[in-house]
Amino acid sequence: MRVESRVRQAEKNRMELLHARLQRRAALEERTKRFFVQRLTWENKYRERVRSAIQQKRTAAEKRQSGLLESEKRRAQVRLLQVQVAAKTASNQKETERGKLKEQLEDKLQRAKQQRADYLKQRGSPHGSMRSSSVKNGEFLSRKLARCWRRFITSRKTTVVLARAFDSLGINQQSVVSMPFEELAICIESPTVLQTTKALLDRLESRFLLSQSSNSSIPENIDHLLKHLGSPKRRIHPRNKSAPKRVGNHDSGKLSRYAQRIALCAYMILGHPKSVLSGQGEREKLLVESATNFVKEFELLVKTILHALDGACILSQSVLDVASPGCSSYEESSSIVADRKKFRTQLVAFDKAWCAYLYHFVAWKAKDAKSLEEDLIQVACRLELSMIQTCKITNEAQSDNLGGDFKAIQKQVAEDQKLLRERIQHLGGEAGIGRMESALSETRSKFFQAKKDRSSIAATAANIASPSVVCSSGQSTVSEIKKNSNIDAEKTSQVVKSLFGSSGSSSESSKGGKHMSSRLSSAVPEKMPTENEQIVNEILHDIHGSFADISDGIGTVEGDFKVKVKETMEKAFWDVVADSMRGDTPDYSYLVSLVKEVREALQELAPTGWKEEINDNINLEILTQVLESGSQDRHYLGQILQYSLDKLRKLSSPSKEDEMKKIHDKLLAELIEVPESDCRGPNSFVLSVIKGLRFTMEELKALKAEVSRARLQLLEPIIKGSGGVEYLQKSFAVRYGSPSAALASLPSTACWISSMKDIVEEQWNEHASSPSILPAADHVQPLVAILRSGLAVPGQLRSAVPTADSKALPECGGERLGRLIRIGLLQLISSTEGVQSQSVPETFMLNWMRLRSVQSKFQQVIVIATR
């Protein structure tokens, strides 16, 4: 039993061990299977990541390759186009040479035939030789006439062809009226229109002179009018002395009777008289009428040429002599004669209309040139006076302070006056230069005379007035004599005054307005007018004429200071851009951003239809790929630069297109020479890119400034109408609130009005009673017109008082508001302290400088009266 139990126990243990071994083996197999499954999953994921990475790299490489291939394709197309143009030019040259050679061979052959005929004539009988020679001469002359006619048709063309070419341009009396002014100006200034018009007018001139000579009549002499159309003769500098020798024969020739630009100007005057003519006077009306008559006669002459029977009006007289009453073409020849007479009659009418139009045009142009010359001389005098005041130049033409800033001011003024002198010489010749020099000399002498008289005036006033009054009035007089000569000099900022020492204004600003501004400055914040309000106010007062032509302060202290700061900042910026593109790892982000700015600026200025074309030609993605590839592709950047410059020329004024093209071609030639001189190093690439991009952005800036000036000039008539006053009223209401809160928002005005209420009646009664106590009018000199204060004169003495000019403001009739405003203004300007912007009422904030100018003149009158 014990043995059996042990056997059973052993069997049981063996079965347990076997079961445990089977479980361990199953677990091991399970772990092995799970390990292989995980490893297989990881390998599949790894393969997928590798495959995706390879696909991304392949896609990027294909995209980069497609971009490079596209750029290479464009370059190849440009090269192919250049090759085709060169091949076409070469073929044309060969064809021309072949034609010339053929003509030479024909001439030689004809000479040889002629010599042979002469030789045979000498050997043969006299009658036969004469007959044969006459036949051969007739054949030779007919062939020569045909050859000359073919050459004339190809080189100079017939009158009908020239008239048909002008008619195809579409410039007529109906089209110019419906066409916008800018489009018409661009159309007229195009080279095709100018060449076509000149060819037709030259042919009409030759036909007119021939017809007049055949009729033994002398045409009207208009050389004195044609000389006014050209610019006056300029001085020839030594470096340009050799240039006129080449064109001496051309200049010495007779002037063209019909000038194409003046003829085309008639269409502009007819279509847009308000845009071309500045006024509506009698002279302008006569010009419009003569231009209308000229255009009518000219178009009628062109229709006469085009509608004649097979161009009969231009046939020679030999063709007309062939026809006779017995011939079958007698009726046709009769119509030819009628058309020819109609053409000659219309040509004479056209010439008369041209002479009348030319006379009125020259008269209008002379008046306009004289007005422009006076404006330029006035600007030159202002620049001279501003320089004398700022640099403190004495009568001996020496400056008390020769600092670098004052030398820069003198240099800038000299350059500006040089430009003005060239413009005046272009307008008036040597006589205009003489008038400018005399005006500058008179301005300097008047200023130095006023400066010399200032000390004697102050000394005389010191013996009569109290010391305090003399101190304040004398200083204000000294400063105001300077400030009234140039209004722009008073508008300099405090920074410029501290740098260049404006002592006169600082002494007055410390005193002026203490009795009023000390109480109000802390209670009410200062609300200054905006720049747009100041511009509208200046245009409404018309102090400087056309506000669109006012300079940006160049030539003044503030203007030169701003120019220097701007140049320094621009140089620092371009240095940063250049440094970013140098080194082993260049950064082209600045370059891409600047090219993007150029593209956006072109899109802003260009019409809507050009924007897509600009995007396609200035592609930032391709530019970024080319730059990141490290190839420094000059050709692609050159294409972008050339395209930008071409668009700039198209957007600019047509009159500047030729000059801009020369400058742009010179720049491109310089950019090509830079890499050749620097062995195509990395530095040359940076210099070329910076130079081209900087030039393009400067050109864009100049174009934007020109557009802004044009917009201001277009808005000027609207501002001078009711629009300017309404804008100032709305801006004043926005700045100071509604009229119901005027006491709180206009404290200075309220204080000014309240201070006048107590004395206005007393001042008015004193003024009204003052004329009655004067002696009789025949024993004293007549009264001054109320010192231009605006007060009225009693009715019984109005006839004895000389009235001011017809443009003066209406006098006060005694109304309460009129008396209050006029007496209040008189109190402001009669104050011994200088008028300051902090002390004037808010309603006069825009014109406080004018109040100060009137105060200066008032104090001068007081000082002169006390002598």
Mean pLDDT of 799-810: 47
CA distances from 408 to 404, 415, 416 (A): 6, 11, 12
User: In the chain, what percentage of residues exceed pLDDT 70?
Assistant: 71
The answer on pLDDT for 401 being more than 80 is no
**556 has which bridge partners?**
554
Mean pLDDT of 529-555: 63
Q: What does the alpha-carbon distance between residue 412 and residue 387 come to, in Å, rounded to a whole number?
A: 10
Q: Which pLDDT score is estimated for 667?
A: 81
The answer on pLDDT for 454 being more than 70 is no
Task: Using DSSP, state whether 393 is helix, strand or coil.
Answer: strand
User: In the chain, what percentage of residues exceed pLDDT 90?
Assistant: 11
Mean pLDDT (the chain, rounded): 73
Mean pLDDT of 319-337: 45
Q: Which pLDDT score is estimated for 154?
A: 65
Q: Which pLDDT score is estimated for 647?
A: 85
Q: How confident is the model at residue 808 (pLDDT cuts 50, 70, 90)?
A: low
Neighbours of 491 (CB within 10 A): 12
Q: Which pLDDT score is estimated for 752?
A: 85
Over residues 136-163, the pLDDT tens digits come to 677 777 777 777 767 766 666 788 888 8
Mean pLDDT of 414-443: 83
**In the numeric block, which tokens belong to residue 839?**
């002390």
The answer on pLDDT for 776 being more than 60 is no
Mean pLDDT of 786-807: 41
- The model's pTM: 0.37
The answer on pLDDT for 82 being more than 50 is yes
- Domain positions in the chain: 2-123+130-143, 157-233+255-366, 557-736
Over residues 853-863, the pLDDT tens digits come to 888 888 888 87
Residue 311 CA, chain-centre distance (Å), reads: 46
Residue tagged 């030779």 (tokens): 140
- Contacts of 10 by beta carbon, 8 Å cutoff, 6+ apart: none
Over residues 314-325, the pLDDT tens digits come to 444 333 344 444
Query: With b meaning 16 or more CB within 10 Å and e meaning fewer, what string describes 674-711?
Result: bbeeeeeeeebbbbbbbbbbebbbebbeebeeeeeeee
Over residues 481-498, the pLDDT tens digits come to 333 333 333 333 332 233
The answer on pLDDT for 712 being more than 60 is yes
Q: What does the alpha-carbon distance between residue 401 and residue 394 come to, in Å, rounded to a whole number?
A: 11
HEC profile of 96-126: HHHHHHHHHHHHHHHHHHHHHHHHHHHHCCH
The answer on pLDDT for 780 being more than 80 is no
Closest among 536, 228, 550 to 378, alpha carbons compared? 550
Going by the DSSP 8-state scheme, the letter that residue 680 receives in this structure is T
Mean pLDDT of 582-611: 85
The answer on pLDDT for 32 being more than 70 is yes
